[in-house]
Amino acid sequence: MTENPRDTGFPLPSRMLRLGFVGGGQGAFIGEVHANGALLSKRWQIVAGALSSNPLRAKDSGRKWMLAEDRIYTDFREMAAREAGRSDGIDAVVITTPNHLHHPVAAGFMDAGIDVISDKPLTTTLADARDLVRRQRDTGLVFGVTYAYASHVMVRQAREMIRAGMLGEIRQVHVEYFQEWALNLTDEDGTPPWRLDPAKVGNAFTVGDIGTHAAHLASFATGRDIELVRALFHVAGKPKALEDTAFMHLRFEGGVPGTLMVSQAAAGTQCGLRLRVFGTLAGLEWNQENPEFLSFTPQDSPMQIIGRGYGAGMLPAAVRFVRMPRGHPEALTDAWANLYTELAVAVDARRAGRTVPEGLLAYPTVVDGAKGVKFVEAAVRSNATGDWVDCGL
């Protein structure tokens, strides 16, 4: 077994960083996922939160998270102002609210000089997304967007293999994401759930929720932005005003063709995110439900299965994220920890005035988040017109 290069791959933190949350309290699955990833990275401590818009739930959630009473907030604006004024205030805020609140919460904390980590999609409108990009450029604050699947070790391995030319010239890219959880979800039974409310999610449901994950994964692994999209939206589950299924043709940079299929009404599926990339020399495939392995298929040669671990075909930029030797499984929790490790390195360096070595970090930025919003808007327009629509920012 080779020495674990993670010990020297990232700079040691100057101290434990202080993290605050907006949203993510009782009944919010994703808040706990973020918190677990941050704590597993061993670079963050969670010290403050406005965990719900409901004051009673915010207080109760904060106590269950074992936050100090004076750092349990019921309003994010008060939290931003008070934390910015403390000598031990938070270094970054995590935003895990419904989508329509991402922009005002992020803008409020950026105005207070606090780095931001936001769930996706970044915003519900492209104008708001562009505003956050502008604010980040003006302030120099760190702004990460949590496309966590890109932090799986074997996604990093796929990216490095593609960058190294092991597939040859890229000729096709295919990505899909199938779930069943919204099969019986409807907005015809009284008050619609927030995920089906256009005022809270924008003009798309599934494309904004998991389609942005799929689009980011394909672009991240291949190093190519999506330039054009032609989309068809469908409702495959119970009736709803917004789509729960979408099929798309894509054009990536360089004219590379691709496809993207997403559904949250595909019976019998759970988290079926799969990426396939084909070049002139070889192809590769990664499946999120079996994330430890990457299938590499050179032309006219036997299939090779690369397993997560040290050595045996693993490339250095991926190995630095490995936490356990082969045979000791890692999972999505580890991918979240990898993402929060990179974000901690960026935040710590900015606050200490240090420069991060070029190429060390690859976490999704506010620009990646804005590209996701543009992708959603382009897909919505394409579905309405039947045209190819530009995805460029």
pLDDT above 80: residue 35? yes
* Spatial separation of the C-alpha atoms in residues 211 and 196, rounded to whole Å: 15
pLDDT tens, 282-304? 999 999 999 999 999 999 999 99
Contact (CB, 8 A) for 120 and 150: no
Say whether pLDDT at 216 is over 90.
yes
Give the pLDDT confidence score for residue 6 in this predicted structure. Answer: 45
Buried b / exposed e across 19-56, counting CB within 10 Å, b at 16+?
bbbbbbbeebeebebbbebbbbbebbebbbbbbbbeee
pLDDT digits (tens, 9 = 90+) for 83-111: 999 999 999 999 999 999 999 999 999 99
- Tell me, yes or no, if the pTM score tops 0.85: yes
Q: pLDDT for 358-380, tens place per residue?
A: 999 999 999 999 999 999 999 99
Q: Distance between CA 312 and CA 306 in Å, rounded?
A: 8
Least confident of 236-240, 284-288, 338-342, 357-361: 357-361
Q: Tokens standing for 359?
A: 């190429």
- What's residue 2's pLDDT? 45
Provide the b/e sequence for 98-114 (b: ≥16 CB within 10 Å): bbbbbbebbbbbbebeb
pLDDT of residue 8: 45
Peptide bond into 121 cis (omega under 30): yes
Q: What gap in Å lies between CA 306 and CA 200, rounded to an integer?
A: 42
